[in-house]
Amino acid sequence: MNKINNRLPSSFKDPSGFVFKLNNTIYRQVNKSYCENYNILINNGLYEYLANDGYLISHEETHDVDFQTIEGYKIIKPKQISFISYPYEWCFDQLKDAALATLRIQQKALDFGMVLKDATPYNIQFLKGKPVFIDTLSFEKYITNHPWVAYKQFCEHFLAPLCLMHYTDIRLFQLLKTYIDGVPLDLTSRLLPAKSKLSFSILSHIHLHAYSQKYYANKTVKSEGKLSLKGLQILVQNLINVTNSLTIKKQKTEWGFYYNNINYIAESELHKKTIVSSLLEKASPKTVWDFGSNTGLYSRIASEKGIETISFDIDEIAVNTNYKLVKEKKESNILPLILDLTNPSANIGWANNEKDNLERRGPANLIMALALIHHLAISNNVPLLQIASYFHRLGKWLIIEFIPKSDSQFQRLLLSKKDIYLDYSCEQFESDFQCYFSIIERIPILGSERILYLMQAK
Amino acid sequence: MNHLLYIDSGGGSYIIQIIIATALGAGYYFKFYWGKVVFFFKKDVKSIDQCEQDKQ
């Protein structure tokens, strides 16, 4: 009966049920211990309201699949998500929107006599450009006068990193990689500037909250009968207000304003777009991962063809701009994410198995690496053969741009470095990449010495 | 405590959210009733003005 092998390694914390994979389809087992809450959620109209509004992932109950353990009560098949992203890959506005979605769901749950029992960004995924709550088992019956059990989790997972990015430095989102169970509030309090205490909400939800955690660390606290429903609603509304007030300042990053500074001539840019479009049509992929996409100029050539596109870049500001464009244009096929390709997301969490690295979430049908190779080969000294090998593991097709040494962008990288890259040439590039790929197309870009390639994995 | 609770809700977090909600609630009701008082006097002033205009 115990078919534990199908269970996703990340799904072990909540005794209400778990997620498992069977024949490449994701299912969720609802355990008997959660049956009362599950029935309330389904029958009181909350599920219907949230699913219809796109806040909660929709599902159907299925009898085609056996229970995975003896605790099974129902098996549900949620709408499938093709790519799971993690909060440490999101830009500021994505984390903020995920926080606001969580709070609005909490508000609505309270209206229906329920409450969120957890409030982690891992319960959110971005579908068609919008945050969607994916954990159907996170709702439980509201107990009169009971404080919000997930308040601490919300502050540590959402409010703390957003405040750090707002007040201190946008790069501090990286703390989410180390602290996958939320950024400790005492650390947040120490990293925030004194002026953050001028805001009543930040002072209370972060600084005094951190002090309170420390003060009550070894004391028993009776939790029943303390916070009225109205009080809880006011608290949630205040969290919405403070989250809404947080923004990122105009922090200058290396690549945040890239397209304002490049020296392409218009003819080259237009030609490059035309080539990328025709190469995409030739490969006709279903999924594209565009690395070094900046604000997604070339990713959109793929996404506008209806191809599911993940638009990766290392720069937080560029990814944030990309996400804002997605929202403005209501785009549904493009997901901007932060990724440092020289140190991509790793397998982390319990037994290094809770959160998947990039490779495990692939392969993509097609990888795009435009104006990127010189950054990997020169800025990070990665040998061309190793770049080819990694791309081969990530995708079946590859559209890649070769940047010659004579290019002004290449020379810029050598301003403070000695040119030790004697092997870096077009011939060497082709030779190394042909160890892993077959070259299908080789098209020079007009008005430049750059070359675009379409390659197919061997 | 609910038997399905599987995360550490934190004793200090319970206490602080009650204090914050109480403070916010007090502020909310103060604003609400203060608004009513202000409205009452404004209305009063307006009605006096209106009476004077009517007389003219």
How high is the ipTM of this complex? 0.82
A291 found inside a domain: yes
Give, for all 458 residues of chain A, the pLDDT tens digit: 556 679 998 888 899 999 999 999 999 999 999 999 999 999 999 999 999 999 999 999 999 999 999 999 999 999 999 999 999 999 999 999 999 999 999 999 999 999 999 999 999 999 999 999 999 999 999 999 999 999 999 999 999 999 999 999 999 999 999 999 999 999 999 999 999 999 999 999 999 999 999 998 887 776 555 899 999 999 999 999 999 999 997 766 666 656 555 556 788 899 999 999 999 999 999 999 999 999 999 999 999 999 999 999 999 999 999 999 999 999 999 999 999 999 999 999 999 999 999 999 999 999 999 999 999 999 899 999 999 999 999 999 999 999 999 888 888 888 888 888 888 999 999 999 999 999 999 999 999 999 999 999 99
A342 found inside a domain: yes
- Preferred mutation among A18, A40, A143, A152 to probe B, highest tally of B CBs within 10 A: A152
Residues A154 and A210 in one domain: yes
- Backbone region of residue A157 per phi and psi (left: phi > 0; alpha: psi in -120 to 50; beta: other values): alpha
For A150, which of B7, B12, B23 is closest by C-beta distance?
A: B7
A175 found inside a domain: yes
Residues A39 and A98 in one domain: no
Q: Where are the extended beta strands (E) located within A329-416?
A: 334-338, 364-369, 395-402
d(CA A334, CA A310): 6
A435 found inside a domain: yes
Measured between alpha carbons, how far is residue B41 from residues A152, A205, B33, B51 in Å? 43, 36, 13, 15
Number of structural domains, chain A?
3
A252 found inside a domain: no
d(CA B29, CA A61): 45
- Preferred mutation among B6, B9, B31 to probe A, highest tally of A CBs within 10 A: B9
A187 found inside a domain: yes
A309 and A275 Cβ atoms separated by less than 8 Å: no
Residues A277 and A183 in one domain: no
d(CA A279, CA A399): 7
Chain B nearest C-alpha distance from A346 (Å): 25
A436 found inside a domain: yes
Task: Write the CATH number for A189.
Answer: 1.10.510
Residues A430 and A321 in one domain: yes
How many other CB atoms are there within 10 angstroms of residue A381's CB atom? 11
For residue A22, the one-letter residue type is L
Closest CA to A25 of A39, A1, A42, A8: A8
| Final residue belonging to a domain, choices A46, A78, A110 | A78
Give the number of beta-carbon pairs within 8 Å between A and B: 107
Residues A300 and A170 in one domain: no
Residues A65 and A128 in one domain: no
Please tell me whether residue A95 adopts helix, strand or coil conformation. Answer: helix
Residues A183 and A65 in one domain: no
Residues A240 and A286 in one domain: no
Residues A187 and A277 in one domain: no
Residues A288 and A421 in one domain: yes
Rounded (5°) CA angle A243-A248-A249:
135
A114-116 and A17-22 beta bridge pairing: unpaired
Chain A residues with beta carbon closer than 8 angstroms to that of B1: 223-224
How many helices and strands (H and E) does chain A possess? 18, 15
Q: Which residues contact A326 (CB under 8 A, 6 or more apart)?
A: A129, A296, A334, A335, A336
**What domain range includes position A230?**
87-245
A251 found inside a domain: no
pTM of the model: 0.92
Chain A nearest C-alpha distance from B7 (Å): 7
**Nearest C-alpha in B relative to A14:** B6
Place of tokens 């069977």: A22
Residues A45 and A98 in one domain: no
**Per-residue DSSP letter, A247:** -
Residues A274 and A156 in one domain: no
Place of tokens 């720069």: A315
Q: Where are the domains of chain B?
A: 30-56
